Amino acid sequence: MERLKQFITKEGTVINEQVLKVDTFLNHAIHPQLMKEIGEEFSRRFGQDGITKILTLESSGIAPALMTSLSLDCELVFARKRKSITMTDHLYTSSVHSFTKNQVSDISVSKTLLQKNERVLIIDDFLANGQAALGLIDLVNQAEASVVGLGIVIEKSFQPGREILEKKGFRVESLARISNLTNGKVTFLEPIKQSY
Amino acid sequence: MERLKQFITKEGTVINEQVLKVDTFLNHAIHPQLMKEIGEEFSRRFGQDGITKILTLESSGIAPALMTSLSLDCELVFARKRKSITMTDHLYTSSVHSFTKNQVSDISVSKTLLQKNERVLIIDDFLANGQAALGLIDLVNQAEASVVGLGIVIEKSFQPGREILEKKGFRVESLARISNLTNGKVTFLEPIKQSY
């Protein structure tokens, strides 16, 4: 997705060879028009797949997932990293290991909000080592629903997430794929086509 | 906003006299079309006020705030409850006391994302005791920006949030105002006009 890559090039900050900061349009500030276009692009890619529900993870997944659910006209649920005071239901819970934070955290979703036989599209802002994606897939499996695919805004293709997911047979659609962050610079697998 | 009140009546669960659960459309699952209508309604109410930025708090504020920012065509930033690994900037930070959780937590926003002289609309999912709203106002004040008003999806009018904010001179626009949650039932300040 060219416009997303242009945003990354113009506004992203390479913190180190592993970490890209996109706080001005995706992770902290959010660019609403870009999110709308991201939702439309995921909708184009998954529009024929009979998606009944979108599952994402708070907080940074919510904006692209909401715009996708609006475009696909399907329901949206976000897994929580902490238990809410109103989460009195039984929960599906999975553990996610974060390499960057070097910690394990639980993610969960109310059982009533993920039904058997649903066709689920997982949306997330980043794909790196695939651990958050695997946690979300685990929640869907616990519900006996199907993962139709994963829609990722930014894939760090130099990390093993995509390979892990594809080896398990999952379809991964990433809107921007980054081959490396060396020399303080973002390099995409496919170069940008237009000027910003 | 009639449609919101209908959603609350049909899908909300009264946990006790203080707590209303709206996990099926606002706080955990999100109803995208309702969020769009909420954004349009806030846009109607604040469309003439020269808003340059919307500020909300992760996670449940993000969906209504995103739809409002899309409708008003302005920027959006969400304050974080925890520090992100890419939040390397200096931060504005404020402490928020949660009565329901009986704990104090810090909320913060990168200084680069909230500029002096901006005209800020604060959006949040709930207004109860007003503590989260006061924390967000504090962040705006630290940035020497102006709070134009507060847009609240659900106001628990039997709690003191609105009174506290209005006494300080802030404009509060709530889309649904609940007068009480007694007898396991939601009662609005203004009764619902249409049937669901």
DSSP state of A143: T
pLDDT at residue B194, as a whole number: 63
Written as tens digits, the pLDDT of chain A (196 aa) is: 999 999 999 999 999 999 999 999 999 999 999 999 999 999 999 999 999 999 999 999 999 999 999 999 999 999 999 766 565 569 999 999 887 778 888 999 999 999 999 999 999 999 999 999 999 999 999 999 999 999 999 999 999 999 999 999 999 999 999 999 999 999 999 888 865 4
Neighbouring C-beta atoms of residue B142, cutoff 10 Å: 15
User: Which residue of B38, B54, B62, B80 is the best one to mutate when testing the A interface, meaning the one whose CB has the most A CBs within 10 A?
Assistant: B62
Neighbouring C-beta atoms of residue B179, cutoff 10 Å: 14
**Contact between chains at A19 and B86 (C-beta distance less than 8 A):** yes
| Confidence label for B173 from pLDDT (cuts 50, 70 and 90) | very high
Å from B57 to nearest chain A CA? Answer: 10
Task: Reduce the DSSP state of residue A156 to 3 states and report it.
Answer: strand
pLDDT at residue A84, as a whole number: 60
| Confidence label for B191 from pLDDT (cuts 50, 70 and 90) | confident
- The percent of residues above 70 in pLDDT, for chain B, comes to 95
Task: Reduce the DSSP state of residue A123 to 3 states and report it.
Answer: strand
How many residues appear in chain B? 196
In the predicted structure, residue B88 carries a pLDDT above the cut 80? no
Chain B residues within an 8 Å CB radius of A113: 23-24, 28-29
Q: Indicate the Cα dihedral angle A105, A111, A117, A123, nearest 10°.
A: -40
pLDDT at residue B102, as a whole number: 82
pLDDT at residue B20, as a whole number: 96
* Residue B24, CA atoms < 13 Å, CB-side half-sphere: 12
CA nearest to A34 within chain B: B70
CA nearest to A39 within chain B: B32
Chain B residues within an 8 Å CB radius of A31: 75-76
In this predicted complex, what is the ipTM? 0.94
pLDDT at residue A55, as a whole number: 98
In the predicted structure, residue B115 carries a pLDDT above the cut 70? yes
**Contact between chains at B86 and A110 (C-beta distance less than 8 A):** no
pLDDT at residue A196, as a whole number: 47
pLDDT at residue A194, as a whole number: 63
**Contact between chains at B36 and A67 (C-beta distance less than 8 A):** no
A12 close to A21: Cβ distance less than 8 angstroms:
yes
B4-36 residue pLDDT tens:
999 999 999 999 999 999 999 999 999 999 999
- For CA atoms A60, A64, A68, A70, the dihedral sign is positive
Nearest CB among B23, B33, B63 relative to A62 is that of: B63
Amino acid identity of residue A116, one-letter, is K
Alpha-carbon gap, residue A192 to A190, rounded angstroms: 7
Chain A residues within an 8 Å CB radius of B25: none
CA nearest to A21 within chain B: B86
Alpha-carbon gap, residue A131 to A112, rounded angstroms: 24
CA nearest to A78 within chain B: B28
Please compute the mean of the pLDDT values over residues B32-50 and round it to a whole number: 98
Alpha-carbon gap, residue A161 to A172, rounded angstroms: 10
pLDDT at residue A195, as a whole number: 55
Alpha-carbon gap, residue A106 to A82, rounded angstroms: 7
Query: Residue A29 pairs with which residues in a beta bridge?
Result: B77
Chain B residues within an 8 Å CB radius of A186: none
